[in-house]
Structure 1
């Protein structure tokens, strides 16, 4: 790729040592890039990080100019070969452009403006532009094709963030996640209370059942009959007294009852043929009765 000023070939991706150079020298077909360390600016926002501006996570990536020219306290930022501003420890030692060794060209730098125009034109025409293409501007500053592409910010967001979680959508998703967690916690609390209430009811029912069993068992014990009122057996007592009295009279020789006697009936008994004795002759029932009385 050719251009006015200090455009480099697309294949020149290696970064050279920290040797200073002066003026607006032209580099064509060189194998390395010398660096110029310009005075750095202090950041005006303490919330900035190497990759994102304050309150701009997943929505506002820091520009390559701010990455190399604006100091963030406690951080050493580096522009990766793909145009992303990140912390130096995330870049290998042989890649990237650390702010301690390089400065980025301002927008009005003539050499960088020419390179930017050519890269933008090629991109609009559908011509492939290598993301590692770079130019040297006035005073030795650098500009990178990866940093000057129109879709640079969107590409960084896509690479670093989950889709649809940028800007206000990030807050919306965070709110939904927090709400889901709250609902889950409330559901767990209610479920535990319900289980505790059910366990308490079961315990009360079990205690009542045990108490009723104890009462029933106590009522079936023999000792429980001692607390019952005595039975009034008046009829049995009277009969017992009569029996005792009769026994006493019998022991003393008296009689309280009439002995049963046989009475002769005047009715004529029908004659019955009964054989009797050795000769076996007929005997009437009356004669038989007389004979029995004589024997007695």
Structure 2
């Protein structure tokens, strides 16, 4: 039973307050947050953080589940709602009240009416001397509930609605994170080993590539060793070759002429070719016969003419 409700039932003489205290305790306790999405925030596996009364009435759930604030001051599923105890049907502060999220809005924290109620009307509910579901109506017909405004509201809901030591739940819940952590560690180790292996392979491939390039460079340098001595370009070499050939031809012609002149006799007649209109060159096709050698008994006419002229 809720501690505040117990104090309320023990210290108050009102029968209505005693009757309402029977509705303050949840029918069953939760072990996991998913057991009651209206009561618990779904940011943890276990039931650790109860949903505030403000979120219970003003924030819709993704699943579309509707909720209600119970007379105990905690948020529960709408199937626990009792319309006969709707706060708009029962006006007594000492009676139990339900506040459905379908047509009720919770007031902001700085609402003037709720601020005044927290300082005056709700103080008795905090100490258990008044009904926990006492409420005030603020701006735009919003509501604020006494127990929801209590400083001990969260710890009381956890104590009354959450199973403190779920026998199988804690073990299984603790094993799930352990398995997850172990799996993450194994995946990390595998990724690290794979990365190291890839780096080693890349290093080996790089070394082989550098070695191959060095061998190729050495073979090219050996194949292209520079020649010792003077080197000529192709054009200069051709020019020198043509010059040598021309020189050899000139030398050959000179040798032939010298040989011919050497074979000719010293007393060979001089042939004078006169030019003029009366003379025409012979045809190239007419062969030129060599003159017969002069007779030793008779001098040649050319020689006689030369002597006469002298």
TM-score range, shorter chain: 0.3 to 0.5
| Structure 2 length-normalised TM | 0.37
Structure having the higher helix fraction is 2
| Structure 1 length-normalised TM | 0.39
